[in-house]
Structure 1
Amino acid sequence: MSGVNWWVRRASAIDYDDVISILQDGEYQGDYLSDYFHILISNPLCYPYVCLVDNKIIGFVQIVIIDNGETASYRSGRMRREFRGLNLHDQFTEFTLEDLKKKIRGLKRIVLKQECSSKMLTKDWIEEGIPLSQHVYKCTFYAGSKTAVQKSIQTSQNDCSSTTLLDEVNFRKVIASKEKYPNVFKDGRLAVDSVLYHIYQENAPLILMERTSAVISYPEVYDKTLLTFCSYFRLLNGETFCKLDIYGKIGSTVLEHMKLHLRIVLEHVSDVFTIDVRCNEDIDLIDLAMINIGTAKLPEGTYSHKGKAFYERPVVTQSRL
């Protein structure tokens, strides 16, 4: 730790300015937190923490409790530039997880989200982390304008009768029939907006939280079912950033499906927007659909991450601290 004295407390709404200023000089163009901060802070299942040095906030970590209290999922974290490379973020994260293990009875596992190009966070994760190989996905970024995309999706090749928006009630029905959708619910889980959920009824309102919509195609034709989730937030420059998670059969129906989902999302877009499409298969068909819709694929390196992977660690009863 190089002699750095730090302490941790729960974050609150009044920490907004200090937390947002952790990332400096536009370090990450797709930062969601400026628009999501108060939504997440107000969620009783979200546990945000700040790390302080000399009473100044220099780090932020957010853990969300899902799966009916069984899983603590690392959602996001950040550290001021001058404190990186000191192993401080890792120790800060471990401290918050140890704190939650004391507070959340019935906690069985911890899930870490990791950029595919990065190394494992700590020695503990290297030794104990279980890679969830079926939940590694590539991130591909597309940009467009509301006017151009609306013009493109005004007409469809069919009436989209097999594609529909899912509300929570109907999403719960899909969850109740999860065994019928092996191509959708691989390993009995879904990663939505960077959180990996087990397919539990209790997770339905968390998955379909504010700003997240779900669209399903062919729910009764199980080998053709396509399910997408899209969340959105506004960047500090006023542009909209969307995250689109895709599950199921990616085939000839993907274009009409994407048109319907984007039609819903565009209601919340002012002008220019970017979409981070997360999927682990058939990316060529998705490319064709997104270009047909009127978006342009961004070159690799436009955003820092190329993909995401998840690792799971069982909760041990004895604390390491």
Structure 2
Amino acid sequence: MTDSKTYAPPSGPPPSNSSEDYEKLLKYCVGTINRLQAPKVFDEHLRRLGKKRKALFGGNKNAKKLAEVFEKQVINSCLDGLPLYANDQAVINQLAQSKCLTRIKEVAAEFGIPDQEYVFYDLCQLCLFKIIFYIDNSGSMKKGNRLQQLHDFLKLFMKINVSPQPLRLKFMNHNNEIHAFLRQKFNIDCDRIETEEQLNTVMANIAINGATPLATNLYTTILEPEVLNRKLGQPLLVVTFTDGSPNGDKYTLGRVIRMAQKRLSENNLPQKAICYQFAQIGDDREAGEYLDSLDSDATIGDVIDCTSPIEIEMKQIRRKNPELSTEVNYVKKLLLGPIDIAYDSMDEINNRVY
């Protein structure tokens, strides 16, 4: 005889995670925070791993000792300025406030692997950064399927984003005019895009024309308002999508990045508190060579990660990690490459470390 009772889910919202639950995510974050806040210790950590061609003797004795715990706890000495996250508990509090564990469960379920949510744990690092997407809307972006590739990536980011922050878009050309037009006509704030429908409207109505003043407008549109005109409140991740090398630029990219670092230093903040991803769209060879030069630049290369067009990038990821040959993991590589050493060196081509 079967039981006539049927299962009824418990009423009310599911139990929320406590701050203790977020301690398991700490190991994904401490190396990233130490890399930004304690660069001398990071250098010693790389020496220990054999990834720096420098002598193992000399250097800073305190940094050497701290390098032993580089990936285990937030380091609060040998710092470059005041810390943005002072200790382990500050990181845990930020993660708990973001409620990213709930979102991680949702993302795992959405991608059909509810029993493998740990695959997305490393994305919790995004909760520690303010993320801004800087979009090349020059005339050459009309070529081929470049705009569609960009659109597809942004949609995928919204699906995989485990942080509570919205999608923020800044445009290389006519940024203020585009923001004002979309706000007035569609009531859409490009600094707070929260639905795919809003994103679709934005992508259907942005102006695509003009040159590629990559560095100049990075400075005026993002770095000046975020860093030069006020004190940075949390680390900043700037993700740039571009299809070509700069033209029509007043400044060089190295100069504007160093200007931002100088202001951070003046505010007694870590110079590496701003990280940059430059993602190539399309197959323009000159653009690829330009991005290569950024990645290997001795003065700014340590805060920059550059990715090839998605087809090339996926081939490199697949060669080294066959299980990571999915669009989701390309997005993870692109977002975490500038901040997480594990992703920064995931793929190599012609001795180029992304």
Question: Greater relative contact order (Cα 8 A, min sep 6): structure 1 or 2?
Answer: 1
Structure (1 or 2) with the greater strand fraction = 1
TM-score normalised according to structure 2 size: 0.30
| Larger Rg over CA atoms | 2
- Which structure carries more helix by proportion? 2
TM-score (norm 1): 0.32
